[in-house]
Amino acid sequence: MTISEFQFDIKQGIPKELPQKKAIDPAINHAPKRKDILSKEEKELALRNALRYFPKQQHAELIPEFLDELTRFGRIYMYRFRPDYEMKARPINEYPGNSEQAKAIMLMIQNNLDYAVAQHPHELITYGGNGAVFQNWIQYRLCMKYLSEMTDEQTLVMYSGHPMGLFPSHKDAPRVVVTNGMVIPNYSKPDDWEKMNALGVSQYGQMTAGSYMYIGPQGIVHGTTITVLNAGRMIAKNGEDLSGKLFLTAGLGGMSGAQPKAASIAGCISVTAEVNEKAVHTRHSQGWVDEVISDLNDLCTRVKSAKANKEVVSIAYHGNVVSVWEKFLAEDIYVDLGSDQTSLHNPWAGGYYPMNMTLEAANDLMAADPEAFKIAIQDTLKRHAAAVNAHVAKGTYFFDYGNAFLLEASRAGADIMAQNGIDFKYPSYVQDIMGPMCFDYGFGPFRWVCASGKPEDLQKTDDIACAVLEEIMTTSPDEIKQQLADNIKWIKGAQANKLVVGSQARILYADAEGRMKIAAAFNKAIATGEIGPIILGRDHHDVSGTDSPYRETSNIYDGSRFTADMAIHNVIGDSFRGATWVSIHNGGGVGWGEVINGGFGMLLDGSDDAHRRLTMMLHWDVNNGIARRNWARNEGAVFAIKRAMEQEPRLKVTIPEMVDDVLLKNLFD
Ligand SMILES: NC(=O)c1ccc[n+]([C@@H]2O[C@H](COP(=O)([O-])OP(=O)(O)OC[C@H]3O[C@@H](n4cnc5c(N)ncnc54)[C@H](O)[C@@H]3O)[C@@H](O)[C@H]2O)c1
């Protein structure tokens, strides 16, 4: 298809004539059939809702088709309207439109749906089993059309994938405001999502899926590398590195697929179990995992030899992770580090698979008999936790990697609670590692995308970012030197690690100073013509953007970890300080109703306006969270916010007074 045909298709939005019906493509990874949760009346409502997008004369033809989709898949995806052009991030100048900012957003949307990037591209799911960009293909088409029409004096309003329309605004306002899954708090149980999503009125945006900020598994490779490296530092008895040590985990899906690569960068042996053969194949063929083994005895033999030779090797085990934990116990194979990244934020709809059942049988059971499926999952979770406990008793360091493993295991009745009955036996990686070492100091997953699509631009931005970090390192306090050093090492190795899947993107953990200085240097390089425009953003899994009591804010101990003021303030603050687009989501990472998370995107075009916006917005986007973490009495954050106040006199944050423990002791005995 030529560029002008592509542009015509974008601009036409909903085609006047019905396009040909599309058969389901078996070569593509599809979302599992969703629960049949609607009553007859509600199914009628779902159809009525879907038909709102189409002229009356097409309704009779579309009704049986949409009803068939609802019956077979539990959702109406409107497959017929999936465009024929290739779904990928194109260079920004290939998009039609009147606003460079809107074109940048189109690029990011297409990247989230790229077949090489998205988990279930035909169901518009980017990652995590249910992380949707849109609910159906008509919403995609309508959104792209609005973006191709809008000017810098309009804002597109997105309600859970539905483009409500263009509203007049001004050039400093966000071009798009996205909400996903925002519901009245009392209606935020998993079945509420199933129902509202089936009705076509809400969607699960995950974090960077519904906010158009996913950059493939690179983001999580970096976060996982940092986590595994620092977990390794925690278990090191004499400052030794991870060589010859074993990391056991599960999941080779959208995000979890990063684990073997990260483990290899961190320098250990990894075993990653995965039940889905397609997922195993994808990661193996991409070179993200070195070897595939499907027999447990072979796996044990291979792991023993890797340990003996201190190899750095990543092994995928095709099968259930619980069988590996149990087998390693029986074979007395010592696991140094253990975790899990199955999609337990979504346990009842395909995020976690039970033992002793094929993938197909499990997929059938979850739709045909959800209760029986739930029991099978809970039994597996109990076995899973029991095997982990037995390994931990022998010395394994196990951490929850933000997939709600501990939460769901506890709900299943597994032996996973600490003695006080309130906390879990094991820390989340944020409590032990990411919170105190990164978030409290403002370090988080800053990222950028080269809108030109040119690999040489990415190389230049890597060099610029590296130079900025090295400069900062010369005057940085000791508290953050390790973080800076890890990230300098990361950016130097980034090209060699071949992390780009989809758009020309890079991730880097940086604090407020680093993010602002890197962005300013990019903007300058754009102004001088050295590089093309850059799209800035970050993962929602960050210092300020996300309130999630068992993950991002699990190291908040003043009782406020179940509040979401920080995330809400963050998105509001970003929106009036110059973000190109902002988003706020219910659900993501750990489950619907369990987290509020938000993010932003920002186009840098080399202008003075872009410089003004980046300075104002990035400063807030990091320091909001540090201020809150400081108020929760987190030592690193108190240090970081005091330092930020010295650097910017207009910043004035309330600092907590610490009470002497002795004064509170025995008060209520
Ligand atoms: N810590 C973080 O920073 C972070 C970041 C992103 C995602 N997450 C969370 O991690 C989880 C995984 O994300 P994802 O995008 O990879 O999801 P995904 O659904 O794409 O992948 C999970 C994989 O686990 C496999 N699986 C399920 N049960 C299994 C079992 N019992 N044994 C072996 N394999 C099994 C599935 O087949 C699937 O391929 C999600 O809950 C997500 O929210 C955490």
pLDDT per residue over 141-174, tens digit each?
Answer: 999 999 999 999 999 999 999 999 999 999 999 9
Segment holding 105, helix H or strand E: helix 100-113
Atom of ligand 1 nearest to the CA of 223: 3
Give the span between the Cα atoms of 445 and 543, in whole angstroms: 9
Whether the pLDDT of residue 129 is over 90: the answer is no
With pLDDT > 90 as the criterion, what percentage of the chain qualifies? 91
Do 232 and 209 meet the contact criterion of CB atoms below 8 Å apart?
Answer: no
Protein residue closest via CA to atom 6 of ligand 1? 255
Do 173 and 97 meet the contact criterion of CB atoms below 8 Å apart?
Answer: no
Whether the pLDDT of residue 345 is over 90: the answer is no
pLDDT at 588: 87
Q: What is the pLDDT of residues 569-606, one digit of tens each?
A: 999 999 999 999 999 999 988 889 999 999 999 999 99
Give the span between the Cα atoms of 459 and 530, in whole angstroms: 12
20 strand-pairing partners? none
Atom of ligand 1 nearest to the CA of 131: 15
pLDDT at 353: 97
Task: Select from 252, 256, 539 the residue to mutate for testing ligand 1; criterion: most ligand atoms less than 8 Å from CB.
Answer: 256
- Ligand 1 center to residue 253 CA distance, Å? 6
Beta carbons within 8 Å of 630's beta carbon, 6+ residues apart = 637, 638, 640, 641, 653, 655, 656
On average, the pLDDT of the chain sits at: 96
- Ligand 1 center to residue 256 CA distance, Å? 5
Segment 68-96 mean pLDDT: 98
- Ligand 1 center to residue 415 CA distance, Å? 22
Please name the amino acid found at residue 209.
A
- Ligand 1 center to residue 449 CA distance, Å? 25
- Ligand 1 center to residue 128 CA distance, Å? 6
Task: Select from 225, 226, 355, 403 the residue to mutate for testing ligand 1; criterion: most ligand atoms less than 8 Å from CB.
Answer: 403
Protein residue closest via CA to atom 39 of ligand 1? 253
Atom of ligand 1 nearest to the CA of 541: 3
Atom of ligand 1 nearest to the CA of 384: 31
Segment 325-329 mean pLDDT: 98
- Ligand 1 center to residue 254 CA distance, Å? 7
Ligand 1 is surrounded, with C-beta below 6 A, by 119, 127-129, 220, 223, 250-256, 273-276, 279, 320-321, 341-345, 351-353, 401-403, 541, 589
Q: How far is CA 383 from CA 93, 256, 347, 600, 646, in A?
A: 54, 21, 15, 40, 52
Task: Select from 342, 363, 407, 585 the residue to mutate for testing ligand 1; criterion: most ligand atoms less than 8 Å from CB.
Answer: 342
291 strand-pairing partners? 315
DSSP string, 173-184: S-SEEEEES---
Long-range contacts of residues 296-299, Cβ cutoff 8 Å, at least 24 apart: 296/323, 296/324, 296/327, 299/271, 299/324, 299/327
| Residue tagged 């560029």 (tokens) | 3
- Ligand 1 center to residue 228 CA distance, Å? 17
Whether the pLDDT of residue 529 is over 90: the answer is yes
Give the span between the Cα atoms of 403 and 395, in whole angstroms: 23
pLDDT at 402: 85
Task: Select from 284, 341, 383, 405 the residue to mutate for testing ligand 1; criterion: most ligand atoms less than 8 Å from CB.
Answer: 341
pLDDT at 589: 81
Whether the pLDDT of residue 409 is over 90: the answer is yes
| Residue tagged 């497959």 (tokens) | 79
Please name the amino acid found at residue 435.
G
Whether the pLDDT of residue 250 is over 90: the answer is yes
Whether the pLDDT of residue 219 is over 90: the answer is no
Q: What is the pLDDT of residues 199-217, one digit of tens each?
A: 999 999 999 999 999 998 8
Q: What is the pLDDT of residues 611-637, one digit of tens each?
A: 999 999 999 999 999 999 999 999 999
Segment 280-284 mean pLDDT: 93
Q: What is the pLDDT of residues 32-56, one digit of tens each?
A: 999 899 999 999 999 999 999 999 9
Signed CA dihedral, 88, 89, 92, 96: sign only = positive
Protein residue closest via CA to atom 21 of ligand 1? 253
Q: What is the pLDDT of residues 181-197, one digit of tens each?
A: 999 999 999 899 999 99
| Dihedral class, residue 251 (left if φ above 0, else alpha if ψ from -120 to 50, else beta) | left
Give the span between the Cα atoms of 234 and 399, in whole angstroms: 12
- Ligand 1 center to residue 351 CA distance, Å? 7
Protein residue closest via CA to atom 34 of ligand 1? 274
Protein residue closest via CA to atom 33 of ligand 1? 274
pLDDT at 218: 87
Whole-model pTM?
0.89
**pLDDT band for position 316 (50/70/90)?**
very high
Segment 392-407 mean pLDDT: 94
* Residue 483 main-chain phi, psi, to 5 deg: -60, -45
Give the span between the Cα atoms of 384 and 405, in whole angstroms: 10
pLDDT at 631: 98
Nearest to 442 by CA among 642, 288, 271, 270: 642
Protein residue closest via CA to atom 42 of ligand 1? 589
With pLDDT > 70 as the criterion, what percentage of the chain qualifies? 100
Query: What does DSSP assign to residue 657?
Result: P
Do 373 and 390 meet the contact criterion of CB atoms below 8 Å apart?
Answer: no
Give the span between the Cα atoms of 457 and 92, in whole angstroms: 13
Compute the residue count for the chain: 669
Whether the pLDDT of residue 1 is over 90: the answer is no
Q: What is the pLDDT of residues 105-116, one digit of tens each?
A: 999 999 999 999
Atom of ligand 1 nearest to the CA of 350: 27
- Ligand 1 center to residue 244 CA distance, Å? 25
Do 22 and 122 meet the contact criterion of CB atoms below 8 Å apart?
Answer: no
Q: What is the pLDDT of residues 487-514, one digit of tens each?
A: 999 999 899 888 899 999 999 999 999 9
Burial class from Cβ neighbours inside 10 Å (0-12, 13-18, 19+) for residue 72 reads: exposed
Do 106 and 95 meet the contact criterion of CB atoms below 8 Å apart?
Answer: yes
Protein residue closest via CA to atom 28 of ligand 1? 352
pLDDT at 262: 93
- Ligand 1 center to residue 322 CA distance, Å? 14
Nearest to 275 by CA among 355, 377, 338: 355
Atom of ligand 1 nearest to the CA of 590: 43
Do 177 and 581 meet the contact criterion of CB atoms below 8 Å apart?
Answer: yes
Protein residue closest via CA to atom 11 of ligand 1? 343
**pLDDT band for position 66 (50/70/90)?**
very high
Listed in sequence order, the DSSP H helices in 447-511 are 455-473, 481-493
**pLDDT band for position 286 (50/70/90)?**
confident
Atom of ligand 1 nearest to the CA of 551: 1
- Ligand 1 center to residue 268 CA distance, Å? 21
Atom of ligand 1 nearest to the CA of 380: 31
- Ligand 1 center to residue 207 CA distance, Å? 14
pLDDT at 220: 86
Atom of ligand 1 nearest to the CA of 402: 1
